[in-house]
Structure 1
Amino acid sequence: MPYMMRHSPTGTLLACVQRNGYKLAYYGLLLWDEPPSSAQMAEALAGAGIERADPAGQLEDWLPLELTEHEAKMANVKLRNDPSRVVAYRDGVMTARKV
C-alpha cells in the first residue's frame, strides 16, 4: 500500500507537479512504497514549493499516511490534474476543494 504525507492540522495530502514515465507533467500526490524518512519528507516539501516560513512549512506537522491503492487513485482523481485543488483526509473521509 502506498504512503503519502498528511498535514496533521489540516488533513491536506501533499501533492505537486511531477513527471510520469513518458516525461509528461501531471499534478498528483507524492507516493512512496515505504514510509518516507524525514529527509525524504523535507525534500518533498521543498519540491512542492512549501518553504519553512509557510504556514504548512513545519516538517513536524507532516506525518506519513498509509492508504490503499484505491484511495490513492481516488485522491488523484479528486485533484483533477489541477494545481489549484487540494485533497484532505480527515476521519477516514477524503474531500477536495479549490484553493
Structure 2
Amino acid sequence: MPYALKRSDTGQLLASRQVNGYGLPYYGIVLWEEAPTSLRITESLAFAGLTPDDPIGSLSGWETVELTEHQAKMANVKLRNDPLRTVKMLDGTVFS
C-alpha cells in the first residue's frame, strides 16, 4: 500500500509535478512504497514549493498516511492533472 503526506489540519494531500514511468510529466499526489523518512518528506515539500519558513511547509503540519491503491488512484483522478486543484482525505474518503 502506498504512503502519502496529509495536512493534519485540513486533510489536504501533498501533490506536485512529477514524471511517470514512461517519462511523461503529470501533476499528482506524492506517493512512496515505504513510509518516508524526514529527509524524503523535507525534499518532497521543497520540490512542491513549500519551505520551512512557509506555515504549511513545516514538517509538524504533515502526517504520513497509508492509502489503498484505490484511494491513491481516486486522488489523482480528482486532481485532473491540474496544479490549481487540491485533493483532501478525511475519514478515509478522498474528495476535491
TM-score of the two chains, using structure 1 as the length reference:
0.92
Q: How does 1:58-97 map to 2 (within 5 A)?
A: 58-96=58-96
What is the distance in 1 between the residues matched to 2:2 and 2:9? 21
The answer for the alignment partner of 2:47 in structure 1 is: 47
The answer for the alignment partner of 1:38 in structure 2 is: 38
Per-residue deviation, 1:22: 2.3
Identical pairs, percent: 55
What is the distance in 2 between the residues matched to 1:2 and 1:19? 17
What is the distance in 2 between the residues matched to 1:40 and 1:47? 10
Structure 2 SS opposite 1:26: strand
The alignment status of 1:17 with 2:17, answered yes or no, reads: yes
- Flag structure 1 segments of 5+ consecutive residues without an equivalent: none
Per-residue deviation, 1:68: 0.4
- Flag structure 2 segments of 5+ consecutive residues without an equivalent: none
Give the stretch that moved more between structures: 18-27 or 42-51: 18-27
TM-score of the two chains, using structure 2 as the length reference:
0.95
* 1:33-59: CA deviation from partner (whole Å, max 9, x where unpaired): 111011110000001011122231111
Letter of the aligned partner of 2:54 in structure 1?
D
Aligned residues: 96
Output the aligned Cα RMSD: 0.9
Shift >4 Å, 4+ stretches: none
